[in-house]
Chain A
């Protein structure tokens, strides 16, 4: 299980990068579309969720890779 935890750490880091990449690609236009509902959604995604998910998941993945979650 320790090996699974460690190697999945790479998956979490990759997932964080993928989320950032696809979010910018798919939702990037929402902030500049000129529509109020798009703007509200864009703000939620880009200024709240994305920084939290990308930063948190990257640190979590790094801790997993460096065996911080290893069982004794």
Chain B
């Protein structure tokens, strides 16, 4: 490729990637702050239910992504790629900023979670329209045999967006006290979005329309009804279904297990300090991100299928051993407590005239450097211990572990391995999808299977897997912490079989 062409495509990629990265940042900031948001926007009398409700609200954004794909995909195939993803960018930025301004449940009651849900749905619609447009736009600028390499830069944006969301949270936490962050500081990452969106808008507004789309439009070859042509004709619908069940469904669950489920697992199952988790996850993401480009480039040489299916197979085989080792690394039953350093501090918190909480804060140290803070809260009403919805004493125990350096680096390695699986399934997929569908209905056709696979099958994973873990724990299952993995393993296994058998090389040479 000539220098001029290379410079041109770098401009296209940087402008597209920046906006897409910001949209992922906006989308994931909600998930990264799920634990604190659950205390702000939902009733606090049942923390598990509040956390699951937050995950469900987070998931609602994923569920509407396919509708965004249909709505904005249709617009993109009718009026053009550039204008459509400018609209999605503004919609996303506005919704994110407003989430950061909503008063808490304590102030406005149920209006708070309802407003959050509405704005979360707008975020989902915007993202549904954004990604397909950016991937299509870059692919339509890229040379024929280098689509995997060039579109892989767009593929890094999701992970970079998640990484930046973690970094903004960490920096914000570092600039204020824990109390201030939990009081109002969690809003800052949402407000930061508006600044980034403005910068991206300024960059994007000078971009030109995709040359392939512009040519098709000038020749009158664009679609008049992209939805009907995409999903109303058997010839195209069969490829949409194959893309979903043979590629994006498995890719979605591998993506969300390796990044989001890993984060939730470290925070809520292993009970590791939130800032330590954000740091170690950030390191693993940073080390893993270049592999999106490596596998995208490699897919131009050896084919998309072998890399994507390889990543899926490795994930299926390795998830249980990886999570077993992760859990074991911080299991307090295998550590030796330094008993004379244990401290218990009792306190009383008056709720109202009849209710009070008796709180016991216990700090423990272990010989390997791990420290644990255990806060046991016993709820009293009229002098008696209150009962929960199962008829048991209402006692909550919150454990927070601060892990030592070697455990931290071991967990970085475990998450990094999972990120490598992510880069294998996700690096080549934009090129894979773009090549499956013709120009005139490409935006619509590729967006839907991507957002159903990634958004619904993947995005619902944290809620489903957390539920499996919680249920298995309540039932006394000794390996409860592995139960959440059956969902990604099952979905990825079906997807692997379908992909291996039904995807052939010819599919990706149909619309070069």
Contact = CB atoms under 8 A, between A and B. Distances in A.
B456 A48 contact: yes
B46 A36 contact: yes
Interface in B474-512: 494, 498, 501-502, 504, 506
B245 A64 contact: no
B21 interface: no
Contact of B463 (A8, A36, A40, A69): A40
Given A40-B56, A44-B56, A44-B464, A5 B502 contact: yes
B238 interface: yes
28 contacts: A4-B501, A8-B501, A15-B494, A35-B49, A35-B389, A36-B49, A36-B52, A36-B53, A40-B52, A40-B53, A41-B463, A41-B467, A44-B56, A44-B463, A44-B464, A48-B456, A56-B241, A56-B244, A59-B237, A60-B238, A60-B241, A60-B242, A63-B234, A64-B502, A68-B234, A69-B242, A69-B502, A72-B506
A8 B494 CA distance: 12
B59 interface: yes
- Which 5 pairs across A and B sit closest by C-beta, in order of nearness? A36-B49, A60-B241, A41-B467, A40-B56, A37-B52
Given A37-B470, A43-B56, A49-B457, 8 more contacts: A36-B52, A40-B55, A44-B463, A52-B456, A56-B245, A59-B237, A69-B238, A72-B506
Given A5-B501, A35-B389, A63 B467 contact: no
Interface of A: 1, 4-5, 8, 12, 15, 35-37, 40-41, 43-45, 48-49, 52, 56-57, 59-60, 63-64, 68-69, 71-72
Contacts of B46: 36
B63 interface: yes
B6 interface: no
B405 interface: no
B452 interface: yes
Contacts of A44: 56, 59, 460, 463-464
Nearest to B59: A44
B38 to A, nearest CB: 12
Given A36-B49, A37-B470, A69-B502, A49 B238 contact: no
A36 B56 CA distance: 11
A71 B506 contact: yes
Contacts, number: 66
A52 B452 contact: yes
A37 B49 contact: yes
B238 A48 contact: no
Interface of B: 46, 48-49, 52-53, 55-56, 59, 63, 234, 237-238, 241-242, 244-245, 389, 452, 456-457, 460, 463-464, 467, 470, 494, 498, 501-502, 504, 506
A48 B460 contact: yes
Contacts of B237: 59
Nearest to A69: B502
A63 B243 CA distance: 14
A44 B53 CA distance: 12
A13 B348 CA distance: 60
Residue from A1, A15, A36, A63 with most neighbouring chain B CB atoms (10 Å): A36
A72 B505 CA distance: 12
A42 to B, nearest CB: 10
Contacts of B463: 40-41, 44
B464 A41 contact: yes
B241 A63 contact: yes
Given A8-B501, A41-B464, A56-B241, A48 B63 contact: yes
Contacts of A60: 238, 241-242, 245, 498
Nearest to B66: A52
Nearest to B48: A37
Give the one of A1, A44, A57, A64 with max B CB within 10 A: A44
B437 to A, nearest CB: 16
B52 to A, nearest CB: 5
B238 A68 contact: yes
A19 B18 CA distance: 41
Contacts of A37: 48-49, 52, 467, 470
A12 B470 CA distance: 31
B9 to A, nearest CB: 34
B459 to A, nearest CB: 10
A4 B504 CA distance: 14
Contacts of A48: 63, 456, 460
Contacts of A5: 501-502
B424 to A, nearest CB: 24
A49 B245 contact: no
Contacts of B241: 56, 59-60, 63
Contacts of A69: 238, 242, 502
Contacts of B460: 44, 48-49
A5 B464 CA distance: 31
Contacts of A43: 56
B175 to A, nearest CB: 34
A60 B247 CA distance: 13
A6 B33 CA distance: 47
A59 to B, nearest CB: 6
B238 to A, nearest CB: 5
Contacts of B502: 5, 64, 69
